[in-house]
Structure 1
Amino acid sequence: MLKRNRQQPYNESLSDKIHRYRGVVLVISIPLLLVSFVLFLMPSTRSPNDAVLPTNRKFTPNYVLQTDRSSNSYAVIFDAGSSGSRVHVFCFDQNLDLLHIGKELELFEQLQPGLSAYANDPKAAADSLLPLLVKAEKVVPKDVRQNTPVKVGATAGLRQLGVDASERILQAVKDFLKVKSSLKSNDDWVTVLDGTQEGAYQWVTINYLLKRLGKKYSDTVGVVDLGGGSVQMAYAISEADAAKAPRISNGEDTYVKEMFLMGTKYYLYVHSYLQYGLLAARAEILEVTKDSDNPCILAGYNGVYKYGGTEYKASSPPSGSNMNKCREEALKALKVNESTCTHMKCTFGGVWNGGGGDGQKNLFVASFFFDRAAEAGFVDPSKPVAIVRPADFQEAAKRACETTLENARSTYPNVKKPDDNLPYLCLDLVYQYTLLVDGFDLDPWQEITLVKKIEYQNALVEAAWPLGSAIEAVSAAA
């Protein structure tokens, strides 16, 4: 038998072989079939983040489709500023890293005018937020809206209206959110932001986007934020300098806030100067000359400037605007030489400057500083970050002050709302230079970073205080 088996014909067919070894085939195949069947019935172990991409969609490595939304947190922040209302929507993962909303890292929408324009009609003020609310809710998944905080932070514009008028508007906004919004609202989240709180949020925002939080204070950047009604300065200081902070006797917040961020304790110097935002400063400078012509107004303009419910005469002298004379008026408005400094070193108005130091050596300057620089033509408006010097504002002011209103329309085509802003271009640029050099004591040739947006994870994010507020809101809810 063994001999005959070793001498099988060479051309034996495949079917004959299977028939001959059918016992072996059955022994091997049955377990394999059983294992395959069990694996087929088991649930998929694919990671929830391994999203299935449509075949017609081009995949880009920096954009991850999130399928497990329940692990993400959203926050909706309204910035009710003096010049307009804006809404920001952010989405964070469990590590407080920003996630994409569509192709961007936030939803950002804005409209004009701001809440303060409705001083006598609180309901109209609240209703003005509806278009922004609708757009915000569309990007928040329905199943998490009831747990998504919506906060409204009013800034200097509402502070200028006074307590009664601002409280009526805030109450109308609270009622509006309860009726119109499907998001999680709380009366305590609709407030007039304290200026120092606004400045602190801005500092957190910029340092978060630059990935400086968690590092030592000397590696963080300082921030100057020029809004419409107020200007804030914030930067981290040493513990030794924080201990030297003077006491404020007029009931304002202290100069230094202690913040614990990403495992690091910071002593943050922050101060807000109410009535020294760009739009408010126009009123202050025009008030200096009262009913006379003002050397900061472009030649050919004779009108009235309205701010905070008050009208100010705004007309140019026959000789036109003049940079040096305008600077004299700006210095008077800042009261640089009128206040007695009772501390070691002050900015304008007798305010302690924080002592300076490493946390201020790298300064990021935001909001109207960027806008006017772009409109004046010495910053590319298509690029969200630019390195400049205070002296650049002075050079731009010199050119603007030598221009008539008629010529300015063609010389400065990038100025937004030219009928409202062109007459004050000389004034705005002179004030910004004066604020930086005489107010904050910067060297005219010191490099500063003008910032509109900051790149974070290959997307651009607004360098504004709402992100800092959103980080706080999401952290508190965790």
Structure 2
Amino acid sequence: MSAQREMKEKNPWHTPVTIIITVIGVIAIVALVTVAVLQNRPVHQKYKYGIVLDAGSSHTALYIYKWPAEKDNNTGRVEQKYSCKVQGKGISSYANTPLLAGESLKACLQEAEMEVPRKRHHETPLYLGATAGMRLLNLENSSASDKVFQAVEETLQKFPFFYQGARLLSGQEEGAFGWITVNYLSERLQQGLETMGALDLGGASTQISFVSDYYNGSESPSNSATFRLYGNDYNLYTHSFLCYGKDQVLRMALAHQTQLGPTTISDPCFHPGYSETKNYSVLYDSPCVSNRKPQGAPAAFTHLGEGNFQQCQEVVKNVFDFTSCQYSQCSFNGIFQPPIQGTFGAFSAYYFVMDFLNLTDASIPLDKVKEKLFHYCATPWDQIKKQHPDVKEKYLAEYCFSGTYILTLLINGYNFTSESYSKINFIKKIKDSDAGWTLGYMLNLTNMIPAEAPDSPLLPHAGYVSVVTIIGILILILFIISLRPIWPTCSNQPQIV
């Protein structure tokens, strides 16, 4: 009994004061960790918004983007919240009735009013960018182009958003902004990874943009675009070919086949059994072909299909000029292009055409792609219509031509090989955002991508909590040690056993 009493007297941990201090210390540590965790927990996120209208040659689309308001243009991820396809054709089709161009946008703008919180309306920037369709109209009739823009601006200004203007994008801008979008959404810019090239195909133009180790902008400076994004410098090769969108190329191909003004043509780019009467004046009603209209041509011609992929390739090649080049190397039409490098994202009509043809899988070898197109083009027209009853015949009839054009453009035009073709990713969206120029356009105008790398916290959240915990334990140990001088006093006090 006396031995136990002596052990308790010698062991300071049995004193009430020490026990209380220990318990308080443990509670303090738990409180310290709890406060640290609560302090760093995610808060309810507030968002800002931006709206961009893509006024293309065939249609107009509205996109709403959002990003965290607290981070604004630092590290907040911009993402697509909503999209709306405007009913009807592109605004360039309203050259004779410009007021209707503005009217056509109202339905989607009204939807945007509902999608963007009302309290954010006045601060939400609203942009409209017009591309190749309006570029062609501007070349053909600048007065009509101005009236269409005026009507569009009057409509946009009636809505409660922060209107930032409607303008005509150059082809180089369209290509560069598409490149920014693809690489921003795939987080290649922020992480400093090797970038992805961008291939964009519309109805009236096509763009190619990529970073090349062989191009510093000295040869053909007009094809150079320089950016400093997230602390990294990018020297971009980019070019836009006006009239080489899939719709205008079809006009050029038909113009080549009707240059003598025949009443009937047999076209290998359309399915066997296809037959349609087409108007000469409608076919040549475009700046891309208007100067080629044959003199004394009849009012119409009969367009017959043959369905021969290989012969179709030869027809398509006639719209390119592969002979003239004053540079070290060219793509086509005498335009400089450095060697293809890296992976590419192909979007817009590239995706929609190849998706319809079930050819978006990058694992399909180029030879197999050609084989599939050969069989598709050779399929009788009646059979094609039965297989796709829900697709409008006008669009359905053109997939053989469009698929052949895409392959010819990539291989013969841009010089993709069997190996580099396998590095093309046909994409519609990246992380729920549409691939295209609109996001890159907004990011550029709002300076949402910093030129320098954004500041990052000293420690990640988990590391911060660990450090706080260790410090708290250290404080507790020091506190207990600091009580050591009073331990003898405490142990000499009489204890009741």
Do both share a fold (TM > 0.5)?
yes
Counterpart of 1:147 (choices 123, 138, 149) is: 123
Separation in structure 1 between the aligned mates of residue 128 and residue 301 of structure 2, nearest angstrom? 34
1:382 is matched with which residue?
none
Matching residue within 216, 226, 232 for 1:258: 226
Which among 435, 438, 441 is matched to residue 466 of structure 1? 438
Q: How many residues matched? A: 384
C-alpha displacement at 1:83, in angstroms? 1.5
Where in structure 2 are the equivalents of 1:368-447 lying within 5 Å? Answer: 368-379=349-360, 388=364, 390-412=366-388, 417-445=391-419, 446-447=421-422
- The whole-number CA distance in structure 2 between the counterparts of 1:84 and 1:171 is 18
Rate the CA distance shift 1:377–1:98 in 2: closer, same or farther, 3 A: same
Alignment CA distance shift 1:308-1:315 (3 Å) = closer
1:145 CA displacement: 1.6
Alpha-carbon distance, 1:108 to partner:
1.0
Q: Secondary structure at the match of 1:334?
A: coil
Question: TM-score by structure 2 length?
Answer: 0.71
Structure 1 unaligned regions, length at least 5 = 1-44, 52-65, 248-253, 380-384
Do 1:156 and 1:195's aligned partners in 2 also have CA atoms closer than 8 Å? yes
Which of 340, 354, 358 pairs up with 2:324? 340
Q: CA deviation at 1:129?
A: 0.5
1:174, distance to aligned residue in structure 2 (A): 1.0
Structure-1 residue corresponding to 2:148: 169
Query: TM-score, structure 1 length as denominator?
Result: 0.74
Partner residue, 2:179: 203
Counterpart check, 1:108 vs 2:83: yes
**Which whole-Å CA distance do the structure 2 matches of 1:441 and 1:348 have between them?**
10
Decide whether the 8 Å contact of 1:87 with 1:109 is kept in 2.
yes
Residue 178 of structure 1 is matched in structure 2 by 157
| Cα contact 2:346–2:426 (8 A) shared by 1 | yes
Report deviation, 1:386: 5.4
Q: 1:285 to 1:471 in 2, by over 3 A?
A: same
Task: Quote the residue 2:58 is aligned against.
Answer: 83
Q: Secondary structure at 1:341's aligned position in 2? A: coil
1:229-272: per-residue Cα shift (whole Å, max 9, x none)?
1000001234x62143225xxxxxx1101111111111011100
Secondary structure, aligned partner of 2:215: helix
Quick one: distance in 1 between partners of 2:84 and 2:303?
A: 36
Q: Is the 8 A contact 2:171 2:240 kept in 1?
A: yes
In 2 relative to 1, CA 470–418 (structure 1 residues): closer, same or farther, beyond 3 Å?
Answer: same
Instruction: Measure how far apart 1:330 and its partner are.
Output: 0.5
Which amino acid is 1:153 matched to?
G
Alignment partner of 2:134 out of 143, 158, 168? 158
Is the 2:203–2:245 Cα contact (8 Å) retained in structure 1? yes
Distance 2:301 2:347 in 1: 27
Counterpart CA distance in 2 for 1:420 and 1:281 is 16
Letter in 1 for 2:442: A
Which blocks of at least 5 consecutive residues in structure 2 are unaligned? 1-37, 294-299, 451-497
| Structure 1 residue aligned with 2:296 | none
User: 1:412 Cα shift?
Assistant: 4.4
Given residue 256 of structure 2, which amino acid in structure 1 is its aligned partner? V
Is 1:349 the equivalent of 2:324? no
The residue type paired with residue 272 of structure 1 is: S
For residue 253 of structure 2, the aligned residue among 285, 295, 298 is: 285
C-alpha displacement at 1:152, in angstroms?
A: 0.4
Q: Bigger shift: 148-157 or 298-307?
A: 298-307
Cross-structure match for 2:347:
366
Q: Is the 8 A contact 1:82 1:115 kept in 2?
A: yes
The letter for the 2-side match of 1:87 is L
Amino acid at match of 2:255: E
For residues 298-339 of structure 1, what are the alpha-carbon distances to aligned partners after superposition, in whole Å with 9 as ceiling and x for unaligned? 232223275684599675447x23222211111111223xx4
**In structure 2, distance between residues paired with 1:297 and 1:214:** 45
1:222 to 197, 200, 204: 197
